Structure 1
Amino acid sequence: MTPSFSDPIGLEVRWDRLAAATDEAASTMLRTAFSTIIRESNDYTVVLMDRQGRTMAESRAGIPGFAALMSSLGAVVLDRFPAREWQDGDCVITNDPWIATGHLPDIAMITPIFHRGVLVGFAGTAAHSPDIGGTPSMGATDLISEGILIPPLRLFRAGGVEQGVKDLLLANVRLADQLWGDLEAQAAAHAVCRRRAREFLDDFGEPDFERFATEVHALADAALRAAIRDLPDGVYRAGVDADGVEGHPTHIECAVTVSGDRIGIDYAGSSAQVPYSTNSTLNYTRAYSMYPLKILLDPATRTNWGSYQAITVTAPAGTIVNPTFPAPVVARHLTGHLLSCAIYQALAPVLPDRVIADSGGAPALRVRFAGVDDDGRPFSQMLFANAGMGASRDKDGLSTTAFPTNSGSGSVEAIEVASPLRFVRKELRADSGGRGRRRGGLGQDIEVHNPTRRPVQMVLLGDRERHPALGLAGGEPGATAYAVLDTGERLSLKSISQLAPGSSVVISFPGGGGFGAPEEREPHLAVADELSGYVRPPAVDREQTGEESHR
């Protein structure tokens, strides 16, 4: 029997099974990936799409913002490679930031699904590669400096490798074995998706996904529209400021328009694009606008293409949230992650019980270490670690938890195995959460040591040195971020430097904003904070620790 709204249990069973297929495929990719970025930090997505390239099911781990991009990517790929040209075993890849996930290190892959000789859908993945060539720093002034740009092209044709494409790609990166290993891991995930999709159609007696996709798209769309209708019509505005780069502070101006069952988000008035890597392409801006709204308004319904049809996102061309080619974009998250703060600040007057204060991890702070060990082996590792989330009206913010991305921090032991680096300490950062009736989540302090006889290159990509995560409803801001060498030298969070042999660096991740007036916090919770070490007693001389100057 074909599932329908009159058979919600049958539809849920089918939808859950297809979602489970994407989760199984994601597990395959995690277990076969070469780099720690995928294995440990979950910087990927896996989706199943219908014949039009619209997502039907999305993996429940990985980066949800990526999943929001896959339908628009599918439309572009199908425009370049029409359905009649696909063969079983084909594979198209791209990392074009304007059509994929916003910067060159993320490689998206799409493969067709054939059932009984007929094209019925597509599998899609996107994953952060360990290396894409170029200059891994804020020093790039255009896209071409940041690495190799891959337009949509076939990596596999009818199951065979396009050797020329492979050779060209691997000749332009430093870690060819890791990159190719991760691409093969993505391909393995696609194989799982294809197999499970065919089994799904056989088991439920369906010739294709068309009727199923129509149902789940309509259901997701209806659920979000119903949530939007509960909001009062109006235009809600907020502005968010961030450090930016070298005399170019970032300003995000956000207007959220609620009209019936639709929401429009417009970023007119935001900063102009800059000759630095903090520009966020419009598709990335859309993804990190739609995802925060989805989890705010309709967190229970699974996401697919239908989840995003009631939301429109616009921004003037030439702005930092809609730059024109060939703007540098490798650190686009330093702008894109801020959008959730602007949206939630704008909607706080009408949804005070559901929004959260600014998160310290919006934007995320990333650190890339690269060098050669004492045996002459090159290495490159990205440190994914998380700051504190903002508090809500009813709950303290989560400590060391990513938002609006949900990338994992991974295991520092895995990084130690894959590189000569040593982690001296990794601990919660006292007093980093903004005070309030509900306290902001804590950041963390991470100390990294270089035990080798050679310097290690260190690239810092972060923000919130001067602009902390703001509180809401009288809550105080969280602590700002900083990095300091064991010599006492402060490092810019947008810099490239050397970690000398035998030296260490301490990276302090920021805290989330508080919610509500601090004097309203219940006494027993204040005592518990002190006993747990989350908040130091007033008698502690913060000037001695140097902490006060970093708030």
Structure 2
Amino acid sequence: MTADADGGFDPITLEILWSRLISIADEAAAALLRTAFSTIVRESNDFATVLMDANGDSISENTGGIASFSCILPRTTKHFLQKFPAEAWRPGDCVITNDPWLATGHLPDITAVTPIFHRGRLVGFAGSIAHSPDVGGALWSADCREMFEEGIRIPPVRLLREGVRNEQVMEMFLANVRLPKQVTGDLEAQITANEVCAARVTEFLEDAGLPDLAGLGRALHGRADRAMRQAIAAVPDGTYRATIEADGFDEAVTRIACAVSVRGEEMLIDFDGTSRQIDRGINCVWNYTHAYSVYPVKCALDPFTPRNEGSYRAIQVVAPEGSILNPRFPAPVSARQLTGHLLAGAIYKALEGVLPEKVIAECGGAPTMRALFSGVDRNGDRFSQILFASGGMGAAPHRDGLPTTAFPTNAGAGSIEAFESVAPLIVWKKQLRPDSGGAGRFRGGLGQEAEIEVRSPAPLRLSLLSDRRDHPAQGICGGAPGAPAEIVMSDGTRPHPKSRTMITPGTRLVMRYAGGGGYGPPEERDAAALAADLRDGYVTKAG
């Protein structure tokens, strides 16, 4: 191995080592995926795995993980280190939490962190986050008045101590959930993923001849930091502003004000002027706000350098305390993605005038629209199943928006066959939604229409988490907005878009997902592209 005069690594060696560390995080993700019980993880990709150094700084992330999870996990690990100092960790430990203000912003996500030891020394941490199928309380909903209604909150606690499980913690947790087998299975899968990561890191250090991850971590952080600073330096200095509105809750329309300031190699994203927090579960905690502010910048300015802790050091994010983007405890936060997913659109709108070649239009799938069905099946067993699907992505400067594709999250749709196999639900329709993409030089991505019938023996509970009904995804650089979201029952009634309701067997729920905004003036669209849209049924003559 060759070191330069500054004690770092030569570029080729550094690239090889970094790629191997990413592959370790990917192997941990594969272990989690293959051993998880719930379709939320197995089918819908709602998880992430991260390798961190002994300080809790991320070094590598799995390539297909949820971006906000990967960005937040190091912050949570640093909270763990405050409660459990480095010298208190032992091989075989595992600490967990789902505290929204310490972790990902709502209770369904469970964070698990395992220490990595090499030759008797603590050299790093393996971490994973997964969306649990149940945490008690109101399940996944948007209409609670405070966080205490939303489920059980687990403070940072040792689930494993030197490989021995804390049965009292598990007993308390499982006594508060409806699906203990699935919850246990997913949590065990997270522990397994962490153990795989830890084992591979010790093998890596032996192969590389390194005593720990410290020197390599500094080199990788420095490389990511330099790449981002170089990208920011290419943006003209100045302050760029934008304001967007969302459906909010009932008459309480929410507003996100965004100012992006660039000074040399650094960027400040300031959300001063954003709506105050409300007494419904769409508040977005600071960790989540930070993650979904810096990640869109990474995508736009430096999309090809792998992400780690260094990627975000040049970006500062501030939001007023007590606002919908930095609420005070115990604000309800379960549906925080309905606000957090909008931040990419606000930031890109602010940068529209100065970086039109790097930003995309607003996405119909930002925020995501989710339907959670829970009740009892024909065998008398409890079930809780989420329909993961997405609206259309916003159009880009060089191509049409991707249909039915999520951004900034990358949760997947999963298999309909798997969805139907674990719940008394039938999906009669799941198809592209014509005319839903916003017109433009490049068309917004199409949304979709899904029709689900309830086949349970008794009424079940439906929890809806949606937006874009009154505020569709806007176009950019002259592009038109996409079609709004729409939810309707087979009897013609329209359920509350952010609330819980009971639905009876035989009822069909129709969900029309929003389309993405268009890019550029519609009259500039290529005639051949428009003809292809008509031929393929993406747009109609009537539309």
Query: 1:139 offset after TM fit, Å?
Result: 2.8
Task: Pick from 354, 378, 381 the counterpart of residue 377 of structure 1.
Answer: 381
Query: 1:377 offset after TM fit, Å?
Result: 1.3
CA offset digits 1:492-522 (Å, max 9, x no partner): 2112122211111110000000011111111
Aligned-partner Cα distance in 1 for 2:21–2:166 = 30
Aligned-partner Cα distance in 1 for 2:222–2:477 = 37
The 8 Å contact of residues 2 and 9 in structure 2, kept in 1 or not, is answered as no
- Structure 1 stretch 349-358 or stretch 487-496: which is displaced more? 487-496
Query: 1:227 offset after TM fit, Å?
Result: 0.4
Counterpart position of 2:55: 52
In structure 2, the residue corresponding to 1:49 is in which secondary structure?
Answer: strand
- Aligned CA distance change for structure 1 residues 273 and 372 (closer, same or farther; 3 Å): same
Corresponding position: 1:8 with 2:11:
yes
Counterpart position of 2:480: 476
Query: 1:216 offset after TM fit, Å?
Result: 0.0
Counterpart position of 1:488: 492
Counterpart position of 1:109: 112
Letter in 1 for 2:336: R
Counterpart position of 1:544: none
In structure 1, the residue corresponding to 2:209 is in which secondary structure?
Answer: coil
Aligned-partner Cα distance in 1 for 2:59–2:35 = 25
The 8 Å contact of residues 241 and 249 in structure 1, kept in 2 or not, is answered as yes
Corresponding position: 1:333 with 2:337:
yes
Aligned-partner Cα distance in 1 for 2:280–2:456 = 32
Task: Pick from 134, 140, 144 the counterpart of residue 140 of structure 1.
Answer: 144
In structure 1, the residue corresponding to 2:125 is in which secondary structure?
Answer: strand
For 1:12-161, list aligned pairs within 5 A: 12-136=15-139, 137-161=141-165
CA offset digits 1:266-295 (Å, max 9, x no partner): 100000000000000011000000000011
In structure 2, the residue corresponding to 1:21 is in which secondary structure?
Answer: helix
Aligned-partner Cα distance in 1 for 2:368–2:407 = 8
Aligned-partner Cα distance in 2 for 1:246–1:447 = 25
The 8 Å contact of residues 453 and 502 in structure 1, kept in 2 or not, is answered as no
Corresponding position: 1:237 with 2:241:
yes
Query: 1:453 offset after TM fit, Å?
Result: 2.8
CA offset digits 1:133-192 (Å, max 9, x no partner): 011333311111100011111000000001111111111111111101000000010111
Letter in 2 for 1:100: A
Structure 1: which 4+ aligned runs deviate by more than 3 Å?
A: 2-6
Letter in 2 for 1:514: G
Query: 1:460 offset after TM fit, Å?
Result: 0.5
Aligned-partner Cα distance in 1 for 2:111–2:377 = 31
Corresponding position: 1:347 with 2:341:
no
CA offset digits 1:378-423 (Å, max 9, x no partner): 1100111011000012110000000010111111111111111111
Letter in 1 for 2:473: A
Aligned-partner Cα distance in 2 for 1:236–1:12 = 35
Query: 1:2 offset after TM fit, Å?
Result: 5.3
CA offset digits 1:418-439 (Å, max 9, x no partner): 1111110100000000011110
Query: 1:72 offset after TM fit, Å?
Result: 1.3
In structure 1, the residue corresponding to 2:471 is in which secondary structure?
Answer: coil
In structure 2, the residue corresponding to 1:491 is in which secondary structure?
Answer: coil
The 8 Å contact of residues 482 and 491 in structure 1, kept in 2 or not, is answered as no
Corresponding position: 1:462 with 2:466:
yes
Task: Pick from 273, 276, 291 the counterpart of residue 277 of structure 2.
Answer: 273
Aligned-partner Cα distance in 2 for 1:75–1:489 = 48
Counterpart position of 1:425: 429
Aligned-partner Cα distance in 2 for 1:493–1:249 = 14
The 8 Å contact of residues 61 and 307 in structure 2, kept in 1 or not, is answered as yes
> RMSD of the alignment, in Å?
1.0
Query: 1:234 offset after TM fit, Å?
Result: 0.5
The 8 Å contact of residues 333 and 364 in structure 1, kept in 2 or not, is answered as yes
Aligned-partner Cα distance in 2 for 1:439–1:39 = 32
The 8 Å contact of residues 337 and 405 in structure 1, kept in 2 or not, is answered as yes
Aligned-partner Cα distance in 2 for 1:188–1:89 = 11
- Aligned CA distance change for structure 1 residues 3 and 337 (closer, same or farther; 3 Å): farther
Query: 1:451 offset after TM fit, Å?
Result: 2.1
For 1:141-290, list aligned pairs within 5 A: 141-290=145-294
Counterpart position of 1:323: 327
In structure 1, the residue corresponding to 2:437 is in which secondary structure?
Answer: coil
Counterpart position of 1:543: none
The 8 Å contact of residues 9 and 219 in structure 2, kept in 1 or not, is answered as no
CA offset digits 1:178-229 (Å, max 9, x no partner): 1010000000101110110000000011110011001000000000000000
Aligned-partner Cα distance in 2 for 1:387–1:98 = 29
TM-score using structure 2 length = 0.98
Aligned-partner Cα distance in 2 for 1:375–1:42 = 28
Percent identity over the alignment?
A: 53
Aligned-partner Cα distance in 2 for 1:99–1:179 = 21
Query: 1:3 offset after TM fit, Å?
Result: 5.4
Aligned-partner Cα distance in 2 for 1:368–1:2 = 54
In structure 2, the residue corresponding to 1:274 is in which secondary structure?
Answer: coil
The 8 Å contact of residues 242 and 250 in structure 1, kept in 2 or not, is answered as yes
The 8 Å contact of residues 44 and 125 in structure 1, kept in 2 or not, is answered as yes
Aligned-partner Cα distance in 2 for 1:302–1:63 = 14
Letter in 2 for 1:424: W
Aligned-partner Cα distance in 2 for 1:492–1:420 = 22
Aligned-partner Cα distance in 2 for 1:252–1:190 = 37
Structure 2 residue runs of 5 or longer lacking an equivalent are none
Counterpart position of 2:390: 386
Letter in 2 for 1:534: Y
Aligned-partner Cα distance in 1 for 2:261–2:69 = 24
Aligned-partner Cα distance in 1 for 2:132–2:379 = 24
Aligned-partner Cα distance in 2 for 1:460–1:62 = 24
Counterpart position of 1:444: 448
